[in-house]
Structure formats: C-alpha cells, structure tokens
Amino acid sequence: MLWIATAIGAGITFLTQALLAHELGPAFYGLFASSLAMVSMITPLAGFGVPQFWLKVYGGEGWAANRWLLSSMKFLATSTALTLLIIALWAFTGAPADARVTLLLLLPVVLVTLAAALLGTKLRLEERHQALALWQLIAPGSRLLVAAMLLVVPTLAVHFVAAGYGVVSLAVTLIAVPQVFAMLRGELELHGHGRRPAPAFDDAPSPGPMQLWSQAWAYGLTAVLYPIFFQISTVLLKYLDGNVEAGIFGIALAVMTAIYLIPATLYQKFLLSKLHRWAVHDKAKFWLVYRHGNLAMLVSGVALAAGVVLAAPWVVPLVFGEKYRAVVPVLLVLAVCIPIRFLSTGVGSALLNEQHMRYRVFAMGFSAAVVIVLNLALIPAHHELGAATATVVGEAVLLLIMYAGVQRFHPSGERPRS
C-alpha cells in the first residue's frame, strides 16, 4: 500500500509542478517556488523534532512513553506559535517586496506539515500502513486541485496559487486534528509491545518541557537543517539571480523530490518505527535489514539515475514546454544525487539514538554549510548549474559523513551477521 501510494503521490507531485510551471511561467513559478522553499525551511521549527522523538521513545519504552505526552503538547503549541511569528516577521522585514504576500498566504503550510508529521507518527506506531498510505495522498492531491484551477482560469496569478495552498493546508490540518488530539490523550494502539498495561502503569511522572527539550533537540535540529540543506539553493538563486533561475532549478528539484519519496517511504514511513524497536530488542534483524537495505538502495538509485539521464532530454520539453528546456542540463547534473541520496538514507538508518542524532546534527549542519558556501561561490558565474553542482557535492559529503558515523558508533565486529 505504501509503495502504491508513493508512486501515485510522486506522480501527483510531478503533475502539480508541471501545471504550475506551465501556467505561471518561469518568473512567477520561481517566485512561488522560492517562497514555498523559504517557508519549508522554517516550518520544522514547529514541533522541533517531537514526532521523530516519539518514534524513538515509543520504540524503546513501549507504553511507558505515554509519560511524554503532556510536555509534548505544551512544547508543540509554543514552537508552532513561534514558527508562525518568525515567518510573518521575515515577510515584513527581510523578504523581497514581491515575496511578502506569497509568504503570508503560505503560513498554513506550517500547520499542515506539523499535523502530517504527528499523524504519520501515530499511524507508524500503530503500523496502520493502509491508513498511512491514504493519508500521504491527501495533501498532494489537494494541491493538484489548486494547480488544475489554473487550467480553468488561466489568468489566475501566483497569489491565487499561494492562497489555494494555504486553504487546502488548513483543510487537511482540520482533518488530522482529531487523530492528533487522540494521540496526545494517549489513545494509541501501539504495535509490537503487547497489550496496553493497567491504567496505573500510565501514572509515571510526566517529564517537564526542559526534559523533553534535552531529549528531542537533536531530532529537531536535524529536521530543521535538512530543508536548509535541500531547499537553500532555490532560495539563493532567487536572491542572487532572480525568479527565472529559481524557477528553472525549482522544476528540477521538484523532479528530485518525487524520486526521493522512494527511500523516504521505505525508511521513514515503513521501517523507522520497526528500526527503533529492533535496535533495542532484536539487533540481528536490525543489521540484516541494514545490509540488504543498502544494497537495494544502491542498485535502485543507479537504475533511476540512468532513467533520468535518458528520459530528461525529451520528457522535460514535452511536459513543461520548450521554455523550460534549460531544466534538462540541471537534471542531468542532479541525477548524480539519486544513488548518493538513496545510499545515504540506508546508511543513516543505523544512526537512531540520542548520541547518533547529535552526530547527525553535525553531519547535516556541515553538509548544509558546504552547500551554502558552494552556492555563493558558483551561482554568480554558473547560475542554476552552479546550484546543481553545489547540491551534488553536498549530498556526497553527507553520505561520507554518515558512513564515517556508522563506522564510529558501530564497529564491524559488533554487528551480528545473522
């Protein structure tokens, strides 16, 4: 079910970006894509790692992890309010004048992203894969409807698209709210830890917000650094070059985003809750999955990269139009990232606990810094191709650091072979 939903979701995402790019044109699409990228970079501050922390703590503590829910509720409310305030302040003080309204209209994306992460965590802990598969199609499906409106009324502009994204984000958030509140009340069908104990078992003292912060900050900082690592090139192209260059790169990045759903679905939606459990309770299975997963990621990544290289020269003009032919060389460069990203996802799956997460913060932060520095050096002379090159180098650096981390924390002699 997850694979089917991922394939459909990737197709919907690709079709949505194709419609937006075709109808808005490179300049307006670049404005929208760069604004959405800016919001996406700030959005992970809402929740700041709590959904990822839940997967870890429920995998290790089982039902006893309900003790973290009260402090989680307070932390989620505070961090979400601060995130919305930061985006609003940036829109009025730091953003270019043409991006201000678009940024404000996209504020609800913060809410739907957090709601999706929380509900996704609940469904993964319950191992309700069919419900998770359906849920991951709701948001992209709603955005496709917004893009389709441009076909009906071609005169609609970028502000309409941003407003449409905001409205559907609010609607999807409202759909998720009952399930999220049920999770925060402890109404969870936790899988893999036996039956729920007697009510008295849940009376363990609830940790305070600072205790939650001390446990979750590394997950949160990793979540914040990833969109900076992945989206910063689009934003810098907008600021250093212009909307057209940002639009060209945004199309290529949208294609990569659809492809990256494959390892994300396998490791983050299907395996992550299991990996947290196996890392504590079944190490042999944990390392068996690690070895087979890395091989599968490498082979499939190389195959997909070859497919992109062969298909891009004729698919891009066919789908997006001749005005986007400049996307082709950018995609040919970014195709190198596919096997690198697939393999780094598999390698990084062995780094799960608090100590590992602190290392992941270093890995993601260093890689993001590499991407930013290379973008600043390459964009003025090489424009979107410079941004693509910076992205490839950043992905390679991240893979090498992740591999070094696995060797450091899990020496080969400590890994069971069966």
Residues 224-230, mean pLDDT to the nearest whole number: 88
The pLDDT tens digits of the residues spanning 366-375 come to: 999 999 999 9
φ, ψ at 26 (rounded to 5°): -60, -40
Contacts of residues 146-150 at CB distance under 8 Å and 24 or more positions apart, as own/partner, are 146/16, 147/15, 147/16, 147/19, 147/20, 147/23, 148/19, 150/19, 150/20, 150/23, 150/24
- For all residues of the chain together, what is the average pLDDT? 87
**Which of 303 and 224 is assigned the larger pLDDT?**
303
Report the distance separating Cα 50 and Cα 75, nearest Å: 8
The pLDDT tens digits of the residues spanning 73-103 come to: 888 999 999 999 999 999 999 888 888 999 9
Q: Map tokens 């062969």 to a residue.
A: 310
The burial of 81, by beta-carbon neighbours within 10 Å (0-12 exposed, 13-18 middle, 19 or more buried), is given as exposed
Q: Is 387 helix (H, G, I), strand (E, B) or coil?
A: helix
Report the distance separating Cα 171 and Cα 35, nearest Å: 21
The pLDDT tens digits of the residues spanning 310-349 come to: 999 998 888 888 888 999 999 999 999 999 999 999 998 8
Residue type for position 110: V
Dihedral Cα 273, 274, 279, 283, nearest 10 deg: 180
The whole-number pLDDT of residue 242 equals 84
The region of weakest confidence among 263-272, 308-317, 356-365 is 263-272
The pLDDT tens digits of the residues spanning 4-31 come to: 877 788 788 888 888 888 888 888 888 8
C-alpha radius of gyration, the chain, whole number = 21
Single out the residue of 15, 74, 55, 177 nearest to residue 7, CA to CA: 15
